[in-house]
Structure 1
Amino acid sequence: MSKGQHALLIQPPLFPKEQPVERVEFGGIPCTYCHGNGWFWGMDEYRERVKCECPVCKGNKRLKAVVTVNWTADDSSNNQ
């Protein structure tokens, strides 16, 4: 079975001095806490099973990843 995978190709911007920070969002990723249900089974005060909203995705069933890239000088090349 095929599997979708998000990828980000890192390449410096044309003008890194004017735009040193980039922000990319990847949405539509199924929540791993509730397995994409938006809820999980919990217990109330009478020990009855009730549906509880997922505390991670807040019932949306999906998560969004925000990737921030901050471009700075690489000082490690001077230490060789």
Structure 2
Amino acid sequence: VSSALVQNYARIDVAFERGEGAYLFADDGRRFLDFASGIGVTCLGHAHPAVTKALKDQADRLWHVSNLYHIHSQARL
């Protein structure tokens, strides 16, 4: 691990290569039920088709705009 990265957590000896629903899959083929949910950022599961489509659609239009500006899609929420 790079010395430039903050060491917030001790590393667990597993490397995940993909996620599907509530499961993570390690590079050695093991399947894990994801109880951590990305420490709170993937509460909808991994690679859900509706979420993936929404992210791709948004990325095709606009990735990020500061809250200093009006954002119509944000206002609709």
Which has more helix, going by share of residues?
2
TM-score tier after normalising by the smaller chain length:
under 0.3
Normalising by structure 1, what TM-score?
Answer: 0.20
Structure showing greater relative contact order (alpha-carbon pairs closer than 8 Å, 6 or more residues apart)? 1
Normalising by structure 2, what TM-score?
Answer: 0.20
Larger radius of gyration: 1
